[in-house]
Structure 1
């Protein structure tokens, strides 16, 4: 069980970090894409000349409500990926208007807004990773997670790949003989009939191909240096945009500081990853690359958007592709270590 206040005994999810990462990436992407769209369209107001203005915090709230509805209305782990995506998009639309909430004149363009959003998202991600690493999942929590997945199996909605993953996690218990219910859960998992996940076939095949493509790229012997080069190129791109801004003497003090801190941290993580690739092995290098990508996504691109919307959007697309490649390689290495 997790360390929680007395009387509140909570079981942590094995997919918590994955879902929280989806939530954060969806939120940050929504902020950047929303601001790009508004800039390109001249900041239109929903409601036109009727005297009404529907702020995008309202659809954001509705999307967060939809995410909660999914969690409250359905059992099992099935709705969680969609809930994480909808919740992230909704929260991105909500916090994008933070400038209106902290200024007396409802200033959407309040300069420190990017810093506020950065603190929220970064604290969220760092807290999630620190919480998981500090207190590893217990055997009881792993069995409970397997039983949770079993809900989908009993309803005929469990894929063969997910079942194999859960059974493999039960094989890795520290003290399987002491874990209550492990034999019964394993038996039921092995007995349930697996089926293709209940999503449109073309959509499923598309995401399967994307995932397989990332896995193939990640398994290449050239993947590690390519990731390092792309990360360094991403940093150089941000610094080039920043240099042009400084030379033009445009006043963007907060944004300049944020980009410099983000680019500096990404450089350290990338250089560390390249060094660790030779000293400690590939997994240590990829984990460092993951920190570099997340830093760029959650810090550099957010502040860069205040300077150049085009540069930040291009950087966002590169970061998302890099994150997919890094996560695929990390998942492959973790499977190999088990």
Structure 2
């Protein structure tokens, strides 16, 4: 390649940009995930509480202290925790507190996108879902593209080690530190071993009850997703379900029932997403005999279209009652993803 070619210049500029940016945290995806999960739980718990208690208001005498204010306060507290304290524990705590604050903030989005400050604005649920869907996409992008440079690996190793100075490091964290600097050179590795010797040792903490519950849920989900007999009912539903949705909306349009819907635009948007999902699912079903790997790739794509686009309109139409449909879609995605991975492993072994 010619030394002055644009391609080499672009790579040189990218390297310069990477050197100018701060080092990335190896646990960035975990912090973002904690932020998103705490925000989602906050919105769902808050909506359930307000509906159960008749939507009480805090304040009096013409004042109303909206929970968006508490959300802003908790966002500031979460940021402050991450700024003031060192270590991954502080960042995790900051992410959780900030996520709760973001949930309180985004829950009142209906007041800020309507002239009449309508908390019950129907598309607000879709906006809230869309915001969290974008955050989930960001989390997955960070998780999939986290390829640290050698300097970033050393920086993360030092950060992990310094975070353990006050209370000590467990053997598991020590191994993680040494693994990060592996291949950085004998000088760096020897220096890190010496620094680790100066950090006190700590016994691993007892397993928390919520972690045990999460592990059980994860094992149960993996067991269910691995059941081969579940695959075909899921395939049938993925083909029939979107087609039934499209046909029912078309009939509602012919009979005039669609015009009476309050959010008929969202219904049409949901129908378009269902139509795309139906086309992908039918195409996937037709490819089952010839290329099952590609067929399940298309099934997975159909579910992602519904999750990332269709559910936004579904939340607008059905409000937070759409949570159950979302959970069902996530279950279907788990089954399809498990089958797709199994087929991909088989294809890889066959090529070998």
Q: Distance in 2 between matches of 1:291 and 1:80?
A: 36
1:222 is aligned, of 202, 220, 226, to: 226
1:34 deviates by: 3.1
2:22 maps to 1:10: yes
Task: Report the CA distance shift for 1:316/1:160 in structure 2 as closer, same or farther (over 3 A).
Answer: farther
Residues 103-122 of structure 1 deviation map (CA, whole Å, 9 limit, x = unaligned): 33222233443454455444
Q: Distance in 2 between matches of 1:18 and 1:290?
A: 25
Contact 2:226 2:335 in 1 (8 A): no
Instruction: Give 1 or 2 for the bigger CA radius of gyration.
Output: 2
Q: Distance in 1 between matches of 2:51 and 2:154?
A: 50
* 1:36-115 to 2 correspondences below 5 Å: 36-47=48-59, 50-115=61-126
| Matched position secondary structure for 1:51 | coil
2:202 is aligned, of 194, 198, 203, to: 194
Contact 1:293 1:319 in 2 (8 A): no
Q: Distance in 1 between matches of 2:133 and 2:119?
A: 21
2:39 maps to 1:27: yes
User: Residue 314 of structure 1 corresponds to which residue in structure 2?
Assistant: 324
Contact 2:78 2:98 in 1 (8 A): yes
| Matched position secondary structure for 1:81 | helix
User: Residue 181 of structure 1 corresponds to which residue in structure 2?
Assistant: 188
| Matched position secondary structure for 1:306 | helix
Q: Which runs of 5+ in 1 are unaligned?
A: 329-338
Q: Which runs of 5+ in 2 are unaligned?
A: 1-13, 339-352
1:11 deviates by: 0.7
* 1:287-306 to 2 correspondences below 5 Å: 296=307, 301=311, 303-306=313-316
Task: Report the CA distance shift for 1:279/1:10 in structure 2 as closer, same or farther (over 3 A).
Answer: same
1:94 deviates by: 0.8
Q: Distance in 2 between matches of 1:154 and 1:108?
A: 47
User: Residue 215 of structure 2 corresponds to which residue in structure 1?
Assistant: 211
Task: Report the CA distance shift for 1:101/1:234 in structure 2 as closer, same or farther (over 3 A).
Answer: farther
RMSD value, Cα: 4.9
Contact 1:32 1:302 in 2 (8 A): no
1:28 deviates by: 3.4
**Number of residue pairs matched by the alignment:** 310
TM-score, structure 2 as length reference = 0.64
1:145 is aligned, of 143, 146, 156, to: 156
Task: Report the CA distance shift for 1:208/1:135 in structure 2 as closer, same or farther (over 3 A).
Answer: closer
User: Residue 331 of structure 1 corresponds to which residue in structure 2?
Assistant: none
1:102 deviates by: 2.9
1:95 deviates by: 1.8
| Matched position secondary structure for 2:164 | helix
Q: Distance in 2 between matches of 1:45 and 1:308?
A: 25
Q: Distance in 2 between matches of 1:26 and 1:20?
A: 10
| Matched position secondary structure for 1:54 | coil
Task: Report the CA distance shift for 1:223/1:46 in structure 2 as closer, same or farther (over 3 A).
Answer: farther
Task: Report the CA distance shift for 1:159/1:256 in structure 2 as closer, same or farther (over 3 A).
Answer: farther
